[in-house]
Amino acid sequence: MEKNRSIKTEYDEIIKLIEKKNYTEAEKALTNLLNEKKDFYIHQLLGIVYLNTGDYEKAINHYNLSLNINPKNPGVFFNLGIIYQKLKNLDKSKESYLKSVEIDPNFIDAYVNLAKVYESEIKMHEANKYYLKAMSLNKDYRPLIKSYSKFLIKIGEVSKGMSFQYKYFGNIRFGKTNLKIN
């Protein structure tokens, strides 16, 4: 890192690299920063890089290093939940999402992902509980509406699920007419 540049500028540039999916350059820049200082955010960003490149072992390692420095980071627990869900370790996934919402009770995506884990275990009552908690936080959140509508259709509440689909997608077209959903 150049002496004249702030750490915030460095982080902003690295985040842009990650957003552009330029993970190799982001990893290099983060590794260079890590040689200069130990920071939970560097480890968190490295975790994101490795999560997105599919190197879950390295991602878990860096997320744990981040948590050793800052144990109250709901985003790190959320990302660990995603990894464990991908690895089919649903107990650890649920544990991570629950820790995330314990730290930040308004973390809507953690509730949605927690519901999806329970849904995958065919524990529909538990899944519905977490979908409803997410709905209580923001009933207009599009990723939630999409997931919840599919869930409702899956459990046989087709009319209600289609209402949410309508809210998410707008008019559903079949040929030349629109399907009206009340």
pLDDT in tens, 98-116: 999 999 999 999 999 999 9
Residue ending a domain, choose from 41, 71, 101: 71
Q: Average pLDDT of the chain?
A: 90
Instruction: Dump pLDDT digits (tens) for 79-88.
Output: 999 999 999 9
Angle between helices 142-154 and 158-169 (to 10 degrees): 160
Question: Among all chains, which residue has been given the structure tokens 């500028």?
Answer: 9
Residue ending a domain, choose from 16, 36, 71: 71
For residue 173, tell me if it sits in a domain. yes
pLDDT at 15 over 90: yes
Are the C-beta atoms of residues 127 and 152 closer than 8 Å to each other?
no
Q: Note whether 12 and 60 are same-domain residues.
A: yes
Q: How confident is the model at residue 181 (pLDDT cuts 50, 70, 90)?
A: very low
First-residue to last-residue Cα distance in the chain: 58
Could you tell me where the beta strands, DSSP code E, fall in the chain? 172-174, 177-179
- CA 114-119-120 angle, 5° bins: 100
Q: How confident is the model at residue 5 (pLDDT cuts 50, 70, 90)?
A: low
Are the C-beta atoms of residues 128 and 144 closer than 8 Å to each other?
no
For residue 147, tell me if it sits in a domain. yes
The Cα–Cα gap between 26 and 180 comes to 48
For residue 129, tell me if it sits in a domain. yes
Query: Closest Cα to residue 98, out of 119, 122, 83, 115?
Result: 115
| pLDDT at site 177 | 52
91 by Cβ neighbours in 10 Å (0-12 / 13-18 / 19+) ranks as exposed
The domain spanning residue 159 has which CATH number? 1.25.40.10
10, 33, 45, 103: CA torsion to nearest 10: -100
